Structure 1
C-alpha cells in the first residue's frame, strides 16, 4: 500500500499510474489476501479464469497504520468507480471508459480462402504484415495490407522458401523476419517496410523482436507458431543488427517468442521449466539479470506482447477453455505480476498468435477454424498410388495423431477439445470412445505389438513420464521415472516388447530402455554419438529386426535428416533425405513430405516417388498397417483469417425522432 501511495504522489507525472485501471489493478492486488504484492516465484496452480497468477496468501501485518488506512479508503473509493466502469458502468451511470476492452469490436481484415497467419501490426495500427501459405502448402511469403484494405502486396515472393515471424521496427520503417526449414536461406532478415533492401542478419533463428532504439533484435533459436508441440528446447539471444554479432543470452533455460517492452526495460518470453511441460511466462531485465516467472500452471500460455506503456503483458492462453487473449498488470520496477489476469477476448474460435500496435488500442490475430478427417486407403505398391481413399470419420476436434494397431482393427488417436486426451475407435470409425478425460496432457500414443496395450506420455504426476494402459482404458501404469529434472516423451515400442525409446526432455535427443526391469524404470541408456554431429530422435520400430527410424537435428547441414538405428549393432544409417518416415516392411520405409510420399529401399538406398493426394486435398501423418496394406491418414481442413480487435467507446443510441 505504501508503494502505491508513493507512486500516486510522484513528482514526475510519467512515473505515476497512467490510468484509473492501472491504479485499480494495483489496489485489487493490495487488498486481496490471495495476492502477494511482494512477488516471487508463483506457487500454486491457477484455479481458472480470473484466478491470480500468484495464488499464495499475502502476509498481513498485525498493526495497520492510520494514515495508509485512510489513504486506501480514499483510493479504494476511486478504484471502485473505475472498477465499476470496467465491469459494466460508471459511478454516474455514464458510458464505459474509452479504450475499455470490454467494449472492443472485432473486424475481419482478410477474406481469402486458405491460410493467413502470424500477423504483425505496424506501430500506428494502420497496416499489417502477415504470412500467406499457397494452396500447395509449399513455402510461404510475407504480405503487406492496409487495415480496411482489400489488396495485399507480396513483399518477398520467393516460391519454396518458408518466410515467417514478421516484426515491425519501432518506427515502422523496417520489418525483421525469419526463413526456416529452407536450407542455406535459413536465418533472420531485415528489409524495408515495403520489401526493399533485404539483408541477412544471422544464419538461424525465429520470432525476432526489436529493441526500442532499433539497433538490436532479441531472437529465439527455435521458431514457434504452435505451443502444443515442442520438438526441441530454445534459447533467446540479443543480436546486434549492424554486424550480426550475438551480444548475450537472456536466460539460461528454455526460452521462445521474446517481446521487448516499448520502454526498453524488459523482455518477456515463455518457456518450459526443466522437468515440466508447463508453458510459463517470464520477464527478464533487458540489460541483463535473473528472469522472473509470472505463473505456475498447466494452461497453454504463450505469445507474450507488451502494452504501449509497458505496464501490461498480453498473452494467449486456453485458461478460459478456448485460446483467447489475456493480459496481466506488470510492476514496472520489478517485472513481476501486479494483479489478476484478465480476458480480453472470449471466443469459441482460436485467436492466436497475435500482435499489438504500440500507438493505438488495436490487436491483430489469427482466427483459426479447423476440422479433422481420418482417411483410409489401400496402398498399391505396384502402381505407386492410393486406391479408393475413404473418409472413415470427421470431427470438429483437432486430431494431432492417428495410429492404426498392428492387426489393423483399431485406430488410436490423440486430440484436444481443449484438453489433450486419447481416443480409440474401430477401423471403420465405429465404437468411438474416449480413454482419458482430464486436465493432463496425454500425448504421443503408440501401440504395443499385441494391439491391446498402448503407451503414451503424460504430465499427470507433474513431470512428463511414459505411461501404459489397455485398449479399454484399464490398467494405467507408470513406466518411467527418471531422476532429477529429466523427463520422457514420445515413446516407441519394439515389436517383441524388448526395447522402448523415448525423447529425453531436458537433455534433448532420445534415450532407450530394456523393458526387463522393475517398473517404473528409473535409468535410461544413451544412444551413441552420431557421426557428423547432431541429436537423434527415435520415432518408430521396424516390424521385424530391432531397428528404429528417426531423425537427426542440431547444428548439422541436413536438419531433420532421416536416420535408421540398429539396436543390436548400435550403429546409425543416415539416409540423406528429410521427411516423416514410417515402416512399410523390414527393409522399406515410407517417406512423407508435404502431401507427397516416396518409398525408400534400405538395400538399394533409392527413393521411388509415390503420390498420395486424395480428392485434391493434402493428407498428412500417415500410419501404415503392414497386416492389411492400408494407410490411415489425417486430413486437416483449416481456414485462417486475420482479424482485428479494437478497444473503442461504444457508439451511443440515437433516440428516434418524435412522430410528426
Structure 2
C-alpha cells in the first residue's frame, strides 16, 4: 500500500479509510455535496466516491500534467487546476466541474492555485516571479493579478477564510515556516503560529471554527514527501494548537482545501514508507 485516502472526524476523533492504492495519489478536495473527493495522480484528476469503488477520471482536455493544486468552486460548478502541459511550467486553469476544456486564467508563470474566494469570483495562488515566492489573487475571469506579499521570505499555500475577510498562508519571513494571514487587499499581515514546527498549508474550516495545519519537524524547510508529520488544529486566531495525530506524509497530504461542507470532517492522504 502506497497511498491511503482517509477522512478524519474532529468531533469523534475517528478515521475512516476511503480507498487504498499502490499508486501515488494526492490532495483530496471534498465535493460541495460531501459525496465524493477530487484527487490527483499520474498527472490526471479523479472523482473518488465515498461510497466505495475505484476513482473515475475527470476529463481535463489537453491538461494531462496536473499537479496537486486543484479545487472546486464554492458553488461546485467549476474546478480550478494547475497544469504544466501547455507551457512546461505550472499554469492555472478553470473548467466545468464535470470535466471539459480548461480555460487559462493567468499568463504569469509559474502559478500554483490554492484557494477560491467565498463568493467564487477570485482565486488565490502562489506565484514565483524573479525567484520570489509570493501570494497573489486574480479574478476567475482573468486579467491583472494582485500581489499581496512582497518577497518577505517564501510565501505559499493561501486559503481564504469562509467570511472572506482573511487569506491564510505559510511564510518563512521569520526564519522557520509559520502560518500568517493577510487581508485580501494585502494589508494587515498577521502571524498566527509561533511553533517549533515547520507549519504549512493552513485550511480554515467552512464553519469558521478551526484552522487545520500540516506541521513538519522544525528543521525541515520545504514541504517534501515521505516524512513524519503532524496534523494540528487550532482556532482561527491562533493560540494553542492540538496535535490531532501524527502520520507519514507531507507533500500531497493536505496541499489544498480539504474540509467537508459540514466543517467537522476533513480528507487527507497517508503514505506508507517504502521498504
| TM-score normalised to structure 1 length | 0.35
Shift of 1:309: 2.3
- Structure 1 position 111 matched with structure 2 position 111: no
Show the counterpart of 1:299.
197
Cα displacement (A) at 1:103? 1.9
Greater per-residue strand proportion: 2
With over 3 angstroms needed to count, the CA separation of the structure-2 counterparts of 1:349 and 1:184, relative to structure 1, is closer
Counterpart of 2:141 in structure 1 is: 242
Q: By how many angstroms is 1:193 displaced? A: 1.2
Assess if the C-alpha contact under 8 Å between 1:161 and 1:182 holds in 2: no
Which of residues 82, 103, 116 is equivalent to 1:199?
103
The equivalent of 2:177 in structure 1 is 279
When residues 350 and 182 of structure 1 are mapped into structure 2, their CA distance, relative to the original with a 3 A threshold, is same
Q: What's the CA shift for 1:353?
A: 1.9
- Indicate if the aligned counterparts of 1:130 and 1:143 stay in contact, CA closer than 8 A: yes
2:46 maps to: 143
The offset of 1:322, in angstroms, is 3.8
Is the partner of 2:159 in helix, strand or coil?
strand
Which residue of the partner structure matches residue 169 of structure 1? 73
**1:83-131, Cα deviation, whole Å (9 max, x unpaired):** xxxxxxxxxxxxxxxx972622222222232111111112332211111
Change (3 A) 1:180 1:306: same
* Partner deviation per Cα, 1:181-226 (whole Å, 9 max, x = no partner): 763574100011111242111133003310111111011115xxxx
Within 2, Cα distance between the matches of 1:164 and 1:348? 19
* Offset, 1:262: 1.1
Identify if the C-alpha distance between structure 1 residues 172 and 279 changes in structure 2 by more than 3 Å, giving closer, same or farther: same
What is the rounded CA distance, in whole Å, between the counterparts of 1:181 and 1:269 in structure 2?
Answer: 27
Determine which structure has the larger helix proportion and give its number.
1
Distance 1:218 1:196 in 2: 22
Report the counterpart of residue 155 of structure 2 in structure 1: 255
Q: 5 Å matches for 1:495-514?
A: none
Structure 2 unaligned spans of 5+: 1-7, 219-226
Residues 101, 239 of structure 1: alpha-carbon distance in 2 compared, 3 angstrom cutoff: same
Q: Does the aligned pair in 2 maintain the 1:123–1:359 contact within 8 Å?
A: no
Residues 1:154 and 2:57 are matched in the alignment: yes
Residue equivalent to 2:221: none
Instruction: Give 1:610's aligned residue.
Output: none
Q: Does the residue aligned with 1:315 lie in a helix, a strand or coil?
A: strand
C-alpha spacing 1:358/1:266, structure 2 compared with 1 (3 Å): farther
Larger RCO (CA under 8 A, 6+ residues apart): 2
Q: For 1:77-96, list aligned pairs within 5 A.
A: none
Determine if contact 2:205/2:263 at 8 Å carries over to the other structure.
no
Q: What is the match of residue 315 of structure 1? A: 213
Aligned residues: 249
**Aligned pairs (5 A) from 1:513-552:** none
Task: Assess if the C-alpha contact under 8 Å between 1:270 and 1:281 holds in 2.
Answer: yes
TM-score by length of 2: 0.80
- Whether 1:353 aligns to 2:268 is no
Question: Is the Cα–Cα contact under 8 Å of residues 9 and 264 in structure 2 kept in the other structure?
Answer: no
**Cα RMSD over matched residues?**
2.6
Question: Is the 1:314–1:325 Cα contact (8 Å) retained in structure 2?
Answer: yes
- Contact 1:142-1:164 within 8 A present in 2 as well: no
- TM-fit CA distance, 1:163: 3.9
Which ranges of 4 or more aligned residues in structure 1 deviate by more than 4 Å?
Answer: 157-160
Provide structure 1 residue ranges, at least 5 long, that are not aligned to the other structure.
1-98, 134-139, 223-231, 331-335, 372-636, 638-660
Check 1:236–1:270 CA distance in 2 against 1; reply closer, same or farther (3 A cut). Answer: same
SS at match of 2:20: coil
Cα separation, partners in 2 of 1:272 and 1:181, compared to 1, 3 Å = farther
- Find the structure with the greater CA-based Rg: 1
